[in-house]
A and B are shown apart, each in its own frame.
Chain A
Amino acid sequence: MKEQNIIEAKGLVHEYIRRDEEGNVEAIQTALDHVNLDVRPGQFIAILGHNGSGKSTLAKHINALLAPTEGTLYVDGKDASKEENVWDVRQSAGMVFQNPDNQIIASVVEEDVGFGPENIGVPTEEIWQRVEESLKSVGMLEYRTHSPNKLSGGQKQRVAIAGVMAMKPKCIVLDEPTAMLDPLGRKEVLKAVRALNKQAGVTIILITHYMEEVVNADYVFVMDEGKVVMKGTPRSIFSQVEELQEYRLSVPQITLLAHELKKSGLPIPDGILTRDELVEALLSVGQQ
C-alpha cells in the first residue's frame, strides 16, 4: 500500500484581492497558480524562489494561516481549508518564521517553548517534559532560563524551532529562517533542522533563497510567479544553471564554476554540488 502523503496539494490557487473603499475589486494578484505538491513523511523538502515568487504564501497555507481560493490541500490527511480542521492542521504542521524577534512571545526561553503546548491544553507535567526535550533537540537547554533578548539571531531561531517541536508536529515549515542571520547563525539553524529530520524523523519543508542550503534536501521545488517551475533532486536542479539564473536564483560559486568550465569544453559531469566533487573531476581531466 502506498504510504499516505503528509502534504498533498492539488491545483492550489491563492489570490490576494485588493479592494477600494467601497469594496469594489481594485486588483487581483495571483500568488499561487495551480500548485501541486506531494510530500512524504520524513522527507526533507526545499522550496526555492526569489522574493515574491509565492513561496511564503504556500507556506502559510500548509499551516492553515491562509485558505486556498481554489484547489485542495491535505495536511496529514486533513483538509486544511475546513474551519474545523484548523487547529489539528496547525498542530501537525508547525511553522518557523523569518524574523526571530517577532515570533518569540515570552520573556524567558523555557516559557516561550511552553507556549504552544499550553495552547493545546497539554497537562503541566508533560509541558515541562516536552520543553526539556525540545530545547535539548536544538541544543539550547542550557539557555532555558535566559531572556530571548540576550541571545544571538541563530539562538533565537533555534528557540523558535524548539517552540514548534514542543507541539510534537509531524512536519515543520521553515519560511526563510536564515534570511536575517549571519553565516554562523545560518549554520547553527541548518544543523539543528537537519538533526531534527534525521533523528526525530520530522518532515522538513525549508523555504529559502540560498541555494547552498538545499544541497542536502531530498527533493527541491523551484517557484516563480506562483508556479512550481522546476522540481527534482538537488543534483538535477543544480545542473540547470542557466534556468536557475532566469528565475533570479544565484547558483553556488562551485556549481557556477563547474558549469562555466564545462561550457569552455572541459569534460565535467553535470550538477556538481561540492568542492570535493569538482576537485576530483578536474584532477581526472588533468590526468588524461
Chain B
Amino acid sequence: MSIILDKVNYTYSAGTAYEIQALKNINLKMEDGQFIGIIGHTGSGKSTLIQHLNGLMKATSGTIYYNGEDIYAEDYDLRQLRSKVGLVFQYPEHQLFETTIFDDVCYGPKNQGLTKEEAGLRAFEALKSVGLKEELYYQSPFDLSGGQKRRVAIAGVLAMRPEVLILDEPTAGLDPKGRDEILNLVSAMHKERKITIVLVSHSMEDVAQYVERIIVMNHGEMIFDDAPHEVFKHYKELEKIGLAAPQVTYLMHELSENGLPVDVNATTVSEAKDEILKALGRKVC
C-alpha cells in the first residue's frame, strides 16, 4: 500500500493576475507504515500538498495513485479515499460542533455508513487512544481546554480508522507540555497501529526526534526528501530558506570544526550528549 504522486502541479487562480503556482512538479512515494515529516514555512505549499493526498484539492496536472489506483479516475470514490487517508487540519478544534464529545467523534464513522453501535465502538476506541478521561465523554467539547479539544478533534479523524493519518501542524498554539503530549500521542499511534503518519510542521526540532523521513518544501518545490540526519547535513541551505536545523546540529558542526571528534549527524539532545561524552573520553551513562 502506498501513495504515489506523479508530476503533480497545482496553480491557484489560474489565468488571473493573482496566479500562484503552489506545487511544482511533485514526484513522491509514501510507503506504507512510514512516519514522514513535511517541513516548510507558511506559503511553501505544504498545506496544499497534503490536501491533494485525500483528494480535497485536485491537481492542475499530474496523477496521484492510492494503492495503485488513480484517484482522479472517473469511477474512483473520493469519499472512500477520505476515510482511508485521514486529514487533521490546523487548529482542528475549530471543527467541533456536536453537543457532546462522544457524538462529535461519531460524526466521521456515521458518514462512513456505519450503524450507531459500530460508530459508538469506534468513538470509544478513538477517544481512549488519545488518552481522554472517560468521565469527559458526555460533556460539551466547548468546555475543554485547548489541548483537550485538539485531542478530541484528532480522535474524530482516528475513529474513521484511516490507513494514513495526516496532521497539519498539530502543535500550533499549544504550550510546550501540550505540544509534547500531542507528539508523543502521534508517535505512539504509529508504533501501535502501524499506520502511515504524515506530520506537517515548521519546526525541525519538533519532528527530528520522531520521524524517519523528512520532506522539505520551499516555494512549491520539494527540495529535500531524505532521512533527518541526511537533510540536516544541508543546514546551511536550510537556513537560507528560513528553516533552521535543530540547534544541536549547529552545535555538533561547530564542535567538530574546532577539533572535537563528534559525529555531526546527532540530532537530538540525548544523541548529542552521548557523542560529546564519547569524544571527551568520558563514560557514557
Q: Taking beta carbons and an 8 Å cutoff, which residues of A are in contact with B?
A: 50-52, 98, 152-153, 179-180, 182-185, 209, 248-250, 252-254, 256-257, 260-261, 264-266, 275, 278-279, 282-283, 285-286
* B244: Cβ under 8 A from any A Cβ: yes
Residue of B172, B173, B178 with most partner-chain A CB within 10 A: B173
A49 nearest CB neighbor, chain B only: B175
CB pair A250–B247 under 8 Å, yes or no, is no
CB-CB < 8 A to A283: which residues of B? 255, 258-260
Distance in Å: Cβ of B214 to nearest Cβ of chain A = 16
A183 nearest CB neighbor, chain B only: B202
* B285: Cβ under 8 A from any A Cβ: yes
CB-CB < 8 A to A249: which residues of B? 176
A257 to B43, CA, bound (A): 33
* B250: Cβ under 8 A from any A Cβ: yes
CB pair A264–B176 under 8 Å, yes or no, is no
CB pair A51–B247 under 8 Å, yes or no, is no
Residue of A153, A249, A257 with most partner-chain B CB within 10 A: A257
* Residue from A51, A256, A285 within 8 A of B280 (CB atoms): A285
CB pair B41–A51 under 8 Å, yes or no, is no
* Residue from B243, B269, B277 within 8 A of A256 (CB atoms): B269
* B33: Cβ under 8 A from any A Cβ: no
B174 nearest CB neighbor, chain A only: A51
Interface bits B259-285 vs A (CB < 8 Å: 1, else 0): 110000000011011001101101001
A217 to B45, CA, bound (A): 35
CB-CB < 8 A to B177: which residues of A? 50, 248, 250
- With A183-B242, A250-B180 as contacts: A51 and B175 at CB distance below 8 Å: yes
CB pair B282–A266 under 8 Å, yes or no, is yes
- With A52-B145, A185-B42, A286-B260 as contacts: A275 and B175 at CB distance below 8 Å: no
* Residue from A182, A183, A250, A264 within 8 A of B277 (CB atoms): A264
CB-CB < 8 A to A261: which residues of B? 273, 276-277
CB pair A153–B42 under 8 Å, yes or no, is yes
Interface bits B105-149 vs A (CB < 8 Å: 1, else 0): 000000000000000000000000000000000000000011100
CB pair B247–A253 under 8 Å, yes or no, is yes
* B246: Cβ under 8 A from any A Cβ: yes
* B251: Cβ under 8 A from any A Cβ: yes
CB-CB < 8 A to B269: which residues of A? 253, 256-257, 260
Distance in Å: Cβ of A39 to nearest Cβ of chain B = 23
CB-CB < 8 A to B203: which residues of A? 183
CB-CB < 8 A to B243: which residues of A? 183
- With A183-B242, A184-B41, A260-B269 as contacts: A282 and B247 at CB distance below 8 Å: no
